[in-house]
Amino acid sequence: MLRIFLSAGNLFLSLILGAIFMALVAIYSPETLSALLGWARSFKALITGTGLSAKYNIWLELLLEERQLLFMGFTIFARIMLAIVLGMLAIPFSQLRPRPPQRHFYG
């Protein structure tokens, strides 16, 4: 049960951090955010221009927005940063726990 709460907390924290990162980029570098929004627009055009059948492609066009793609990118960036930071913090704590001796089987 603890793993479920930790993974849900990690996801929730990365969503919040992604929104904070996007807001910081919007405040301190609006031209960068505008360029990223242009990339998201071209990425949407790439996704919707794959030649899918119209009954599937219309759903992609309706459900995908440039802002959503941009927020997904910032959230993925936040998840990567969170994994790096938590991984670096976990190294000293993993050395505190005694490990059972490893058995080597040759044969």
Q: Is residue 94 part of a domain?
A: no
User: pTM, whole model, 2 decimals?
Assistant: 0.76
Q: Is 51 left (phi over 0), alpha (psi -120 to 50) or beta?
A: left
Confidence of residue 97 (pLDDT cuts 50, 70, 90): low
Evaluate whether residue 65 is within a structural domain. yes
Q: Please tell me the total number of residues recorded for the chain in this structure.
A: 107
Domain interval for residue 42: 30-87
pLDDT of residue 39 exceeding 90: yes
Contacts (Cβ under 8 Å, ≥6 apart) of 64: 44, 47, 48
Give 42-52 pLDDT, tens digit per residue: 999 998 888 88
Q: Quick check: 66 and 37 in contact, CB under 8 A?
A: yes
On whether residue 80 sits in a domain, the answer given is: yes
